[in-house]
Amino acid sequence: MLGKRRAARNREALDRLLQERSNSQCAECGEDGVSWASANIGVFLCGRCASIHRKLGSHISKVKSLTLDDWSENEVEHMKEWGNKRANRYWNPYPRDNPPPITDDDDLTVERYLRDKYEKRLFRGDNGDYDERGSRRRNGDSRRKNYYEPVSRRTASASHTSSPAPQRSKYPVLTGGPSNPKDRFTYRRELSRLEDMGFEDMDMNIEALKAAGNNFNRAIDILTNQSTTPNKEDSPPPSLPPRPID
């Protein structure tokens, strides 16, 4: 057990993290308001998604209440280091191909999504499921209705094939120079999506979109493979199983 004062201090630190908009909405379904978190994955969750996380087992996700449980300094630090935005960019870097559930989806749909995401790690894109441009199908845009169709095939192929990790040299190096207003207008939709995904440097985003010939997934690859900026996606995944409590 933590001392009362330490517990209170850690809870305040958690409250501060919740002031970030991305952390105040459930990492899985986007529901406004979170009261739970996965201490090892580093995501903040609504009550429903937290109970499904718990079903995955504590070796996958260690679910804690933000208000009822005590949090150690290490755990709070881990939540600060990850958080919803970074964790989702790590675990589901191509949300267009693997659309997250919405609040209205039933529990089974959410559970299958979470098992694919964390247990099978299907969305990571490092097990041969994606081509080098980060797309599952060349011109395909897998929509929610056929989302589950490819699962068994993907699972089967994932165990037999593997592709080498992307090489940095495949991606152009961005200079981060100032963009011009015309490009900001031309790429306004893509820029807004990139910003939603956590790519906040507009000049770099425009440069990447131009270098990618306006191929959205390719632009993301370029942005996440810049060696000049710290690339958090390359760091090791959240530790599984979780660290022991102090």
Residues lying near Zn ion in the complex (CB under 5 A) are found at 26, 28-29, 31, 46, 49
Assess contact for 91 and 235: CB atoms under 8 A: no
* Integer Cα distance of 213 and 140 in angstroms: 18
Which amino acid, residue 53?
H
Residue closer to Zn ion by CB (options 46, 194) is 46
- Residue closer to Zn ion (CB basis): 28 or 207: 28
Distance of closest approach, residue 28 Cβ to Zn ion, in angstroms: 5
Find the shortest distance in angstroms from Cβ 26 to Zn ion. Answer: 3
Smaller CB separation from Zn ion, 91 or 130: 91
CA distance 63 to 41: 9
Name residue 44's beta-bridge partners: 37
Give the shortest CB-34-to-Zn ion separation in angstroms.
8
In the bound complex, what is the minimum distance in angstroms from residue 94's beta carbon to Zn ion?
Answer: 20
The C-alpha atoms of residue 81 and residue 87 are separated, in whole angstroms, by 9
How near is the Cβ of 56 to Zn ion at its closest, in Å? 14
Max CA distance (Å), the chain = 58
Comparing CB distances to Zn ion, the nearer of 115 and 154 is 115
Parallel/antiparallel/unpaired status of strands 63-65 and 43-45: unpaired
Distance in Å, CB of 218 to Zn ion, minimum: 30
Nearest to 79, CA basis, from 43, 51, 47: 43
By beta-carbon proximity to Zn ion, the closer residue of 38 and 135 is: 38
Residue closer to Zn ion (CB basis): 31 or 203: 31
